[in-house]
Structure formats: structure tokens, C-alpha cells
Amino acid sequence: DADVTQTPRNRITKTGKRIMLECSQTKGHDRMYWYRQDPGLGLRLIYYSFDVKDINKGEISDGYSVSRQAQAKFSLSLESAIPNQTALYFCATGGLAANTGELFFGEGSRLTVL
């Protein structure tokens, strides 16, 4: 089983619908992240969390919200989806030990908003 699991892997929805992308991890990591990937733009940080009581906005948080339900679960919500939120979304996790730096990524959730 994957260490970082994202569901759903693919989703097509309509403008105005509420969408939730879920992420769960078995690595025991404290840090969890949501990134968005668009062709030619690389990965951009949406939100990140260092524990269940710590939520931080990233570079492009407008139009998104998150919930850290437990150490192992971090979900991303689009309250009212719009077409320019069509993208590939990645969840990632990392430890808090010094000088680790490595993030572990899920396989991505491809979202299409019509």
C-alpha cells in the first residue's frame, strides 16, 4: 500500500459544486501539504499543516480550504469549484526532524471543472 494515499484519483465536476480531496498517510509525519500542478507552472503550495491545530496558507489559498482531521489525514475542499481550478493536486508529507527536507508525495488527484 502507498504511504501517501489520495482520493479520488480522478474527478470531473461542474462549476459551483463543492469538492473534497482527501489525503491519508501512514508515515507518521507531522507535516502535510497540498500542492497544485499546472502545465508549465510547476507546483504551487495551497495550504500546509504542521499538526492538527496548525493550518497555514500557502501561495495560492484563495478558493480553497483545508481540514486536518487527524495527524494522518488532511483534506482539501473547493467550496464552489470554478474551471480555472482544473489541475492536478498533490498531497505531500514530511517529518519535522532537522535537515530532512524530503517530502513524500501521493500519486495525485486530477480534477476537471466543467
Partner 1 sequence: AQSVTQPDIHITVSEGASLELRCNYSYGATPYLFWYVQSPGQGLQLLLKYFSGDTLVQGIKGFEAEFKRSQSSFNLRKPSVHWSDAAEYFCAVEGAGSYQLTFGKGTKLSVIP
Selected binder of partner 1 within 66, 103, 111, 113 (CB under 8 A): 103
Contact call for residue 53 and partner 1 (CB under 8 A): no
Sheet holding 73-78, edge to edge: 4-7, 19-25, 73-78, 65-70
Please report, as residue ranges, which positions from 65 to 94 form the binding site for partner 1 (by CB under 8 A).
90, 92, 94
Label residue 63 exposed, middle or buried (CB < 10 Å: 0-12, 13-18, 19+).
Answer: middle
- Using CB under 8 A, list all residues that contact partner 1: 4, 31, 35, 40-45, 48, 50, 58, 90, 92, 94, 96, 99, 101-103, 105-108
